[in-house]
Amino acid sequence: DTGVSQDPRHKITKRGQNVTFRCDPISEHNRLYWYRQTLGQGPEFLTYFQNEAQLEKSRLLSDRFSAERPKGSFSTLEIQRTEQGDSAMYLCASSLDPGNSPLHFGNGTRLTVT
Amino acid sequence: AQTVTQSQPEMSVQEAETVTLSCTYDTSESDYYLFWYKQPPSRQMILVIRQEAYKQQNATENRFSVNFQKAAKSFSLKISDSQLGDAAMYFCAYTGTYKYIFGTGTRLKVLA
C-alpha cells in the first residue's frame, strides 16, 4: 500500500492559464474522489468516480473544470482559464466498495492563481 | 440534503487532559456512517475513528472515543490523555452512499 499520490504538490499559475493535476489512487481502490479545500474550511466535494465512470459532479464545478479517470486507474483534474477564486488545495481520495469505506487522502495539490 | 456542522472553530487542551469536540449532522437517511478525520499542519488527512449508525455501541480507538447520539444527530469525539501530536484540524464527516460530506473543522491546540 503506497498510499494516494498527487502531483504536483504546488502549482503557481497566472490567471487565464490552464492547469492539470494528477492523482494516483491506492491500486485496489475502485472509488476516486476530488475535493477542494480553502483555508480554514472543510473539504468540499467536487466529483466522484467509480472505476472509470464519473458518477457525480458538484455544482461547484463550472464548465472550466473537467476530470477524467481513464481505465479506472489514475485520474486528472483540469482547470481551464484559471481565475483567482480557483486558488485552493485540491485533494484526491480513494476508497474501496462499499461506500462506507473510509477515504484515503493524498497530500493534495496547492494551486495559487496570480 | 445532508449537512455536517462543527460549531467549535478552535479548542485548547492541556497536555494529558481530556477534550471533547462536537459535531452535529442532519440527514433523512436511516443507514449511514460517521467519521472523524485529523489533518495535521501541512500533512495529509488521516482517519481517526469511524461509527456505523446501526451500531448502538460507541466506537473507540485507543485514546479516541465517540459519543454517538442518533436521535439527537450528534457525534462528538473525545480525546483522552491529550498529546502534543494531537494538535491538528479535526473534521467530522458523514456518508450515506458514496458522497462524503465534511464539517468546517475544529482546530485543536495542545498546551504543554
User: Could you give phi then psi for residue B50, rounded to 5 degrees?
Assistant: -135, 145
Answer yes or no: are the C-beta atoms of A99 and B35 closer than 8 Å.
Answer: no
Q: Does B64 touch chain A (CB under 8 A)?
A: no
User: How close is the nearest chain B Cα to the Cα of A48, in Å?
Assistant: 8
> Between A40, A56, A104, which is nearest B99 by CB?
A56
Chain B residue nearest residue A47, CA to CA:
B99
* DSSP single-letter state for residue B107: E
Residue B71: which residues within 8 A CB-CB, separation 6 or more? Answer: none
Cross-chain residue pair B91–A50, CB shorter than 8 Å: no
Q: pLDDT grade, residue A72 (50/70/90)?
A: confident
Chain B residue nearest residue A30, CA to CA:
B98
Cross-chain residue pair A48–B99, CB shorter than 8 Å: yes
- Quick one: how far is CA B41 from the chain centroid? 17
Arithmetic mean of pLDDT, A54-62? 87
User: How close is the nearest chain B Cα to the Cα of A2, in Å?
Assistant: 14
Answer yes or no: are the C-beta atoms of A108 and B46 closer than 8 Å.
Answer: no
Answer yes or no: are the C-beta atoms of A20 and A67 closer than 8 Å.
Answer: no
Chain A residues with CB inside 8 Å of B1's CB?
Answer: none
pLDDT in tens, B8-51: 999 999 999 999 999 999 999 888 999 999 999 878 899 999 99
Instruction: State whether residue A86 is helix, strand or coil.
Output: helix
pLDDT in tens, B49-69: 999 999 989 999 999 999 999
- pLDDT for the residue B25: 97
Residue A12: which residues within 8 A CB-CB, separation 6 or more? Answer: A112, A114
Q: pLDDT grade, residue A39 (50/70/90)?
A: confident
